[in-house]
Amino acid sequence: MTPTRQLYGLMAIGGGVAAIIQGSFNTPSPTILFWMLAFDGLLLGLMLLDGLLVGHAKRPSLEREPLQRLSIGRDNTVTISIATKTKPAQLQIYDRYPNQLGEIAMPLRADCAAKTRSQVSYTVHPQKRGEFQWGDLEIRQRGPLQLAWRGWRIPQTQTVAVYPDLVGLEALSVQLAIQSTGTVRQRKRIGIGTEFAELREYGIGDDPRMIDWKATARRSTPLVRVLEPEREQTLIVLLDRGRLMTARVKGLSRFDWGLNATLSLALAGLHRGDRVGVGVFDRQMQTWVPPTGGQQHLQHLIKTLTPLQPVLLESDYLGAVTQVATQQHRRALVVVITDIVDQTASAELLTALTRLKARHLPFCVTLRDPQVDDQAHHFETNVSEAYGRAVALDLLNQRQVAFARLKQSGVLVLDAPANKISEPLVDNYLRIKARNRL
């Protein structure tokens, strides 16, 4: 049972009145002290009574709505449902959330009318994957006299898993579905694929070489063949989890951003009918999921990859690529998600990707720190800050030199801010499919 501010205010008022009476009427101090103690005792008695009036029969029912899978790097809403009985209720709610999720303003406050159902909510923004323990709900209810808070506990212990960015995957899935069903009108490109899709009437701008003369003769109107990119191709994603991927960018590790991008690319590949395989490596291949098709494969990838964390080890690019070349004989798009520091440090990566060219299509994806970009492009007058800008410019220049070598060797390259890598990566993959680069 806890006193309210109103109780402290009444005690302060009583003390002020006693001081005024003593000063105005020269009342003896023992008399004033007696009446002050009597007044305070009365208030404390009323406080105890107020707390007792909040009995079990008048307590509202509270329940935390079941927490499903949370997404890393996203605002996830936690909702608490409240159902009051015959009396209104003023509540303070303390939800014992995991400390690893940061600081969240507590208590939650609710002023509920009688016989109603309402909700209060707050958001958590996980910056680490794994399982976390939510504790019980601790409730305080203000008594009808507004003098006391009566508290009790509601058992609500729950273990909740934080996964990669499932919210982003859901949004991407909707976007891909809309594109496939034609809700978003897209111009079909003629002659860029390898598989026959349909026949349609010849239009201005169509390639005359795609005219189907037999069908044209039967229908007595020019018809062209529409070709689409070949399905059931192979997409392999190699995700680096070595030292370079441990650095934090915008609150998450590079590995987390790379994992989100890996799952987004896998979703796009499975949606386009490709077989998708994923390897996670450092000094050796730690996890290898062979290329498989079907929408259920994405759930398997999420379950397999979620527990993985980056490590402070140097990555063996040659070893990872050699394993892929050994196990994958059919031509595939091999996407390596990592980071580059300079030309010297990327020499092994360049050698590894060049070895893939003979049979596969190599694609190097690097996760840039946007803070370095901001520092490099922000003019500084302070000497120490100007030195930092010079270092940032030098880092960007060395990256560009390394990318130039990769491109000259025939390796596809994508360099984008780590926190914005998923969308351009998926766009590049769809562009590769549309142009039939495989």
The confidence band for 161, taking pLDDT boundaries of 50, 70 and 90, is: very high
Q: Residue 191: what pLDDT? A: 43
The residue ranking higher by pLDDT, 53 or 289, is 289
Average pLDDT over residues 272-298: 94
Residues 66 and 199 in one domain: no
**Alpha carbon distances (Å) from 319 to 225, 279, 284, 352:** 44, 12, 7, 8
The confidence band for 197, taking pLDDT boundaries of 50, 70 and 90, is: low
3-state secondary structure 162-205: EECCHHHHHHHHHHHHHHHHCCCCCCCCCCCCCEEEEEEECCCC
Residues 417 and 380 in one domain: yes
* CA distance linking residue 116 with residue 58, whole number of Å: 13
Residues 288 and 306 in one domain: yes
Query: Does 79 have pLDDT greater than 70?
Result: yes
| pLDDT tens sequence across 121-130 | 999 999 999 8
Q: Residue 190: what pLDDT? A: 43
What is the domain count for the chain? 4
* End residue of a domain, out of 137, 163, 189: 163
* CA distance linking residue 41 with residue 37, whole number of Å: 6
Q: What is the distance between the terminal CA atoms of the chain, rounded to a whole angstrom? A: 71
Reduced to 3 states (helix: H, G, I; strand: E, B; else coil), residue 258 is helix
The confidence band for 383, taking pLDDT boundaries of 50, 70 and 90, is: low
Query: Does 193 have pLDDT greater than 60?
Result: no
Residues 170 and 243 in one domain: no
Query: Does 19 have pLDDT greater than 80?
Result: no
Q: Which CATH number does the domain housing residue 130 bear?
A: 2.60.40.10
Range scoring the smallest mean pLDDT among 59-63, 236-240, 288-292, 360-364: 59-63
Query: Does 345 have pLDDT greater than 80?
Result: no
Query: Does 395 have pLDDT greater than 60?
Result: yes
Residues 72 and 25 in one domain: no
Residues 393 and 410 in one domain: yes
Q: Residue 181: what pLDDT? A: 62
Q: What is the DSSP string of 349-366?
A: HHHHHHHHTTTSEEEEEE
The confidence band for 231, taking pLDDT boundaries of 50, 70 and 90, is: low
Q: Which residues of 190-224 are buried (b: 16+ CB within 10 A; e: fewer)?
A: beebeeeeeeeebeeebeeeeebeeebeeeeeebb
Query: Does 188 have pLDDT greater than 60?
Result: no
Query: Does 209 have pLDDT greater than 60?
Result: yes
* CA distance linking residue 51 with residue 144, whole number of Å: 9
Per the rule left: phi > 0, alpha: psi between -120 and 50, beta: everything else, 232 is left
Residues 63 and 139 in one domain: yes
Residues 369 and 415 in one domain: yes
Residues 141 and 16 in one domain: no
* CA distance linking residue 371 with residue 339, whole number of Å: 15
Closest CA to 233 of 196, 199, 197, 194: 194
Q: Residue 196: what pLDDT? A: 58
Q: Residue 438: what pLDDT? A: 74
The confidence band for 148, taking pLDDT boundaries of 50, 70 and 90, is: confident
Q: Residue 255: what pLDDT? A: 96
Average pLDDT over residues 316-345: 89
Range of the domain at 177: 166-228
Q: Residue 25: what pLDDT? A: 66
